[in-house]
Amino acid sequence: MATDLSFEQVVRENQTMVFRTLYRLTGSREHIEDLAQEVFLRLYKALPNFRGESLVTTYLYRIVVNVAQNEWKRRKRSDRPLVSISDETSMLEDRLVHPDRNAEEMLEEAEFRTQVEEQLQELSAVERTVLVLYHQEERSYEQIAAALNMPVGTIRTHLHRGRKKLRERVAAVATEGRRAPCMVKI
């Protein structure tokens, strides 16, 4: 009983991190609860072998990445298009105009957010994972390397390459967006 209670505590302490990382990695809220459950059940199986809080967190990130990868494969197999984070109704409240800010400014910001999220999903799995763990989760190179079982140098390379690709792609989409109305006019 004591084990179950402490496991429930582990789940409670880490659930927010697991949900938000899965959400950013999969780009959708769809099945997120099932995926999070899978993460914690996998953790439970491995829990007796762990000592120390940091190791559990590192292992938890590894499981989250593996579960997200399985989800990408499953989606690829079923050939279902990804549901954009910004298209989901649950995000509508984020897109509503804030009373203190200019509506146009807010719309532009929402569009930019959408572009970043969409282009993030277009990156390779490892680049996306490294970007999310480094920027969103504020993990160090060493922690990411431990979670992904890769050398630190490789993590740095993926981070640099991922940022560069993301910047280029978002810029390209922004340029296309500016050109599109001109093409309609012609």
Partner 1 sequence: MHGEDLTQEELEALLRVETERAFDARIIAELERVPDLTAAIPEDFAAKVAAQVPAKKVQSARTFAAVRTTHYGQFAMWAGLAVLLVLTVFASRGSLSVVSMTVEALLFMEFAAIAVWLALRSWREG
Buried b (16+ CB within 10 A) or exposed e, 12-35: eebeeebbebbbbbbbbbbebeeb
Q: To the nearest whole angstrom, how small is the minimum distance from the Cβ of residue 63 to partner 1?
A: 13
Question: d(Cα 21, Cα 121) in Å, to the nearest integer?
Answer: 13
In the chain, the amino acid numbered 149 is N
Element (H or E) spanning 60, and its range? helix 53-78
Q: To the nearest whole angstrom, how small is the minimum distance from the Cβ of residue 41 to partner 1?
A: 7
Residue 94 makes CB contacts below 8 A (sequence gap 6+) with 110
List interacting residues with partner 1 (CB under 8 A): 4-5, 7-9, 11-12, 15-16, 19-20, 23-24, 29, 32-33, 36-37, 40-41, 44, 85, 90, 112-113, 116-117, 120, 131-132, 135-136, 163, 166-167, 170-171
77 or 131: CB nearest partner 1: 131
33 or 87: CB nearest partner 1: 33
76 or 95: CB nearest partner 1: 95
Q: To the nearest whole angstrom, how small is the minimum distance from the Cβ of residue 20 to partner 1?
A: 5
Residue 35 makes CB contacts below 8 A (sequence gap 6+) with 22, 26, 67, 68, 71
Q: To the nearest whole angstrom, how small is the minimum distance from the Cβ of residue 67 to partner 1?
A: 14
87 or 112: CB nearest partner 1: 112
In the chain, the amino acid numbered 70 is N
